[in-house]
Amino acid sequence: MEINDKSGALNYQANPDRYKQINYNRTGKSGVLLPAISLGLWHNFGFVDSLQNGREILRTAFDLGITHFDLANNYGPPYGSAEENFGTILKNDFKSYRDELFIATKAGYDMWPGPYGNLGSRKYLVASLDQSLKRMGLDYVDIFYHHRPDPDTPLEETMVALADIVRQGKALYVGISNYKPTETAEAAKLLKELKVPFILHQARYSMFDRWVENGLLDTLEDNGVGCIAFSPLAQGMLTDKYLHGIPENSRAAKNLTYLQKDTVNSNIEKIQKLNEIAQNRNQKLSEMAIAWILRQKQVASVLIGASSSAQLKTNIKALNNLNFTEDELKQIDAITIP
């Protein structure tokens, strides 16, 4: 499938100055440098969304120096459609830039019916990645994650599967997501023994959700593993969208499972206070929220979603002011820590 833009042109030429637009951070003790801000395709890239809009967002991201695109097998909806749409855009626009991109996918959540389409078995992980590569039209991904711990499958089975995936050339590096500190340390030990490049832990992290500070960041540092933070804006709460209540057609208004009205209503006063700090820093609240995460030395990149190119351009402005005074940090803690 080919995509025609409004001018009818098919050939995309990337901004020649793209690598002057953004900071790059080393990922743990690996050789990989990630852009300080990466683009996640969790929302806005499925079959229910505009393919042309997704194409414009990806073009804008790369023109801004964002080289890291993050997917998972079940991103959409429907499941698999974000990878398929990404594959279409990759073929049309980014084929000649493949070696400049760092592409991720994952498996670990529900994907297909039956006992082999979920969690952490070797059968599921290998089959899922094979399907993902086919959907994206790739020979390999740069990093493949186990998306969440499996309480029933032995951790060794999951880690050996990741190791074999690397040895088969289907992924260059491996990562994990949503693992607790103890589980992370155990995974790191196994992968080190298997001599597999384990470089990233993808974890939910925001001013409203600080669980990674209770041991995970220290565990990652001890094991030479970087952190990439997702949901830095707390599903949109850490933006100016909810400063004066819940607007129509917002995520909270739709009462989706990952952001409900009660959650927003209970945090509006905190959002307003945080916005005042951001204004004093000459930033939007979303920019400050991203910058606040990047102050952590273990964090290599912050993973953001975008529904438009304009939104992406706004959030990347976070990099213009990454410094916080001790007083600002104390004020943020006083607002966000119970």
258 in any annotated domain: no
Place of tokens 């001599």: 195
d(CA 188, CA 206): 24
265 in any annotated domain: no
pLDDT at position 245: 76
7 in any annotated domain: no
Q: How confident is the model at residue 218 (pLDDT cuts 50, 70, 90)?
A: very high
Q: Reduced to 3 states, what is the DSSP secondary structure of residue 13?
A: coil
Between 67 and 5, the higher pLDDT residue:
67
Q: How many Å from the N-terminal Cα to the C-terminal Cα in the chain?
A: 51
Return the structure tokens found at 237.
């709460």
104 in any annotated domain: yes
Q: Identify whether the C-beta of residue 286 lies closer than 8 Å to the C-beta of residue 238.
A: yes
269 in any annotated domain: no
CATH number at residue 146: 3.20.20.100
pLDDT at residue 120 above 90?
A: yes
Q: Identify whether the C-beta of residue 92 lies closer than 8 Å to the C-beta of residue 126.
A: no
- Residue 254 burial (CB count, 10 A): 12
Q: Reduced to 3 states, what is the DSSP secondary structure of residue 173?
A: strand
State which residues form the domain around 130: 32-242+290-320
121 in any annotated domain: yes
Query: pLDDT for 17-46, tens place per residue?
Result: 999 999 999 999 999 999 999 999 999 999
Number of domains in the chain: 1
State if pTM tops 0.85. Answer: yes
2 in any annotated domain: no
| Mean pLDDT over the full length of the chain | 94
All residues at 6 or more sequence positions from 257 whose CB lies less than 8 Å from its CB, including other chains: none
257 in any annotated domain: no
